[in-house]
């Protein structure tokens, strides 16, 4: 027995020695800046970030088989539409955060107010938003951890928009939609909501989620302008065109001083990639809603992105412009039918078929 123990001990000691030797070997060959070469993973992609589009190959299907596949997709669409989740209305208060929606920037055109002033409006088409998934506050693992405790933890609601043929997506991507039973969508977006504002999976959110006269924030991706110089990117003046200037007409010039500050300061404006960044335009008023085409008219013309680009709309974060009257909570419940007018205008806005404006003598 003792022999066995001693042999085991010997073995252990031997292996330990080997390990130590190996350790000592590695510790002697020092690698500088090792922490930079292999940084700890800080950013983790959310679970719904998977490869979206499948590589489409020619499958040599017969016409009948193609028809059959189309029929299956059609059946799935019908099936997904038949299941309507039950949403129960709740009491709203201004501490609660509702979900936002995915929309498309459709264009810009002017409207007039009742006092005759002209304003620019942006048209946003709310797409076929469906709830895909919900992550409870404990469950949701943010890509970037926040330091310190968070009060009023928010859950995360995953919304999808723009239904498409499932065959254009990967299997993995289609799997995201299995739980909710919704047909796979092209666009996904997450919204933080109060746990009270949770919507059951598969719920549709339409334009009546918002009300005319309320204020929203709109997030879009700015126009991608590629690598640009300082004149275009930061509005520098450039250098003179003549008077002995050579080869420096559109350059930025000096980028730092000497002496104690003899280096390039962080944040110095230099050439680089311009655009293709998410920007939020805050405090835009909803002036008009069209329930037939799910369109809302929002004040201003500076929402980021080209026409036909995807944007997301949220209730405003601006403290003084939050709604005072109750809003549909957790969302608008019920169908859009004939009882609801096609066009809902804000009280300030002049309707196009209203009589011509005239100013009365005071």
Partner 1 sequence: MFSSLYPFYMVFRVKMFLNIRNGLSVATNSSKVIRQLCTKAAAFENVTNNKQSNESSKNNVVDYRHIYPEFLPDPKPEFRNVLREKLERSDMIARRTQIQIPEFYVGSILAVTSSDKHTPGKNNRFVGICIDREGCGLRATFILRNVIEQQGVEVKFELYDPTLHKIEVLRLEKRLDDKLFYLRDALPQYSTFDPNMEPELLPGGSTVPVNNLKVKLKPKPWLERWERQNLQGVEDLGLPEKFYIRAKELEKPWEKYDLMKDYMKTIPEEEQTEIFSEVQSHLHKLEVTRKQMKRKRVFVKPSKLA
Which residues of the chain form contacts with partner 1 (CB under 8 A)?
A: 106-107, 109-112, 115-116, 118, 123, 125, 290, 293, 295, 306-308, 350-362
Task: Round to whole Å and give the CA distance between 201 and 157.
Answer: 9
Q: Which is nearer to partner 1, 104 or 285 (CB)?
A: 104
Task: Round to whole Å and give the CA distance between 310 and 221.
Answer: 8
Q: Which is nearer to partner 1, 99 or 122 (CB)?
A: 122
Query: Of 207, 160, 205, nearest to 180 (Cα)?
Result: 160
Rounded to a whole number of angstroms, the minimum distance from the CB of residue 351 to partner 1 is 8
Q: Which is nearer to partner 1, 68 or 109 (CB)?
A: 109
Rounded to a whole number of angstroms, the minimum distance from the CB of residue 145 to partner 1 is 40
296: tokens are: 């809302």
Query: Of 111, 98, 207, nearest to 154 (Cα)?
Result: 98
CA 211 to each of CA 10, 98, 291, 320: distance values in angstroms, whole numbers, following the listed order: 79, 13, 11, 17
Rounded to a whole number of angstroms, the minimum distance from the CB of residue 354 to partner 1 is 7
Rounded to a whole number of angstroms, the minimum distance from the CB of residue 300 to partner 1 is 16
Q: Which is nearer to partner 1, 104 or 190 (CB)?
A: 104
Rounded to a whole number of angstroms, the minimum distance from the CB of residue 101 to partner 1 is 17
Burial class (CB in 10 A: 0-12, 13-18, 19+), 340: middle
Rounded to a whole number of angstroms, the minimum distance from the CB of residue 227 to partner 1 is 21
DSSP state of 319: G
Q: Are 103 and 162 in contact (CB under 8 A)?
A: no
Q: Which is nearer to partner 1, 13 or 351 (CB)?
A: 351
Q: Which residues fall within 8 angstroms of residue 326, CB to CB, at 6 or more apart?
A: 92
| Residues in a beta bridge with 123 | 107, 297
Q: Which is nearer to partner 1, 216 or 295 (CB)?
A: 295
Rounded to a whole number of angstroms, the minimum distance from the CB of residue 348 to partner 1 is 13
Q: Which is nearer to partner 1, 12 or 351 (CB)?
A: 351
Tokens 């409006």 locate to: 121
Query: Of 187, 197, 128, 122, nearest to 336 (Cα)?
Result: 128
């Amino acid at each position: 027995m003792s022999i066995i123990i001693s042999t085991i001990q010997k073995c252990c000691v031997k292996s330990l020695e080997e390990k130590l030797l190996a350790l000592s070997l590695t510790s002697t060959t020092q690698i500088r800046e090792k922490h930079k070469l292999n940084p700890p993973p800080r950013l983790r992609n959310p679970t719904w970030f998977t490869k979206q589009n499948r590589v489409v190959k020619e499958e040599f299907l017969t016409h009948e088989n193609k028809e059959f596949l189309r029929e299956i997709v059609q059946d799935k669409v019908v099936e997904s539409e038949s299941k309507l989740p039950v949403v129960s209305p709740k009491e709203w208060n201004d501490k609660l955060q509702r979900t936002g929606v995915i929309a498309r920037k459709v264009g810009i055109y002017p409207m007039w107010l009742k006092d005759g002033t002209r304003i620019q409006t942006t048209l946003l088409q709310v797409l076929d938003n469906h709830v895909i998934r919900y992550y409870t506050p404990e469950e949701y693992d943010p890509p970037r951890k926040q330091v310190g405790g968070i009060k009023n933890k928010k859950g995360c609601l995953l919304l999808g928009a723009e239904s498409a043929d499932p065959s254009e997506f990967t299997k993995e991507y289609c799997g995201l939609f299995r739980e909710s039973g919704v047909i796979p969508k092209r666009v996904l977006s997450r919204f933080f909501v109060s746990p009270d504002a949770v919507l059951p999976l598969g719920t549709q959110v339409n334009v009546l989620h918002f009300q005319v006269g309320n204020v929203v924030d709109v997030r879009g991706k700015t126009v991608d302008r590629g690598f640009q110089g300082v004149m275009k990117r930061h509005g520098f003046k450039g250098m003179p065109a003549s008077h002995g200037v050579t080869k420096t007409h559109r350059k930025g010039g000096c980028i730092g001083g000497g002496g104690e500050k003899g280096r390039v300061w962080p944040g110095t404006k230099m050439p680089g990639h311009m655009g293709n960044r998410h920007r939020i335009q805050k405090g835009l008023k909803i002036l008009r809603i069209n329930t037939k085409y799910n369109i809302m008219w929002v004040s201003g013309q500076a929402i980021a992105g080209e026409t036909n680009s995807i944007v997301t709309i949220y209730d405003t974060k601006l403290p003084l412009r939050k709604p005072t009257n109750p809003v549909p909570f957790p969302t608008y419940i019920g169908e859009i039918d004939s009882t609801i007018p096609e066009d809902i205008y804000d009280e300030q806005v002049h309707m196009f078929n209203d009589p011509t404006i005239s100013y009365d003598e005071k």
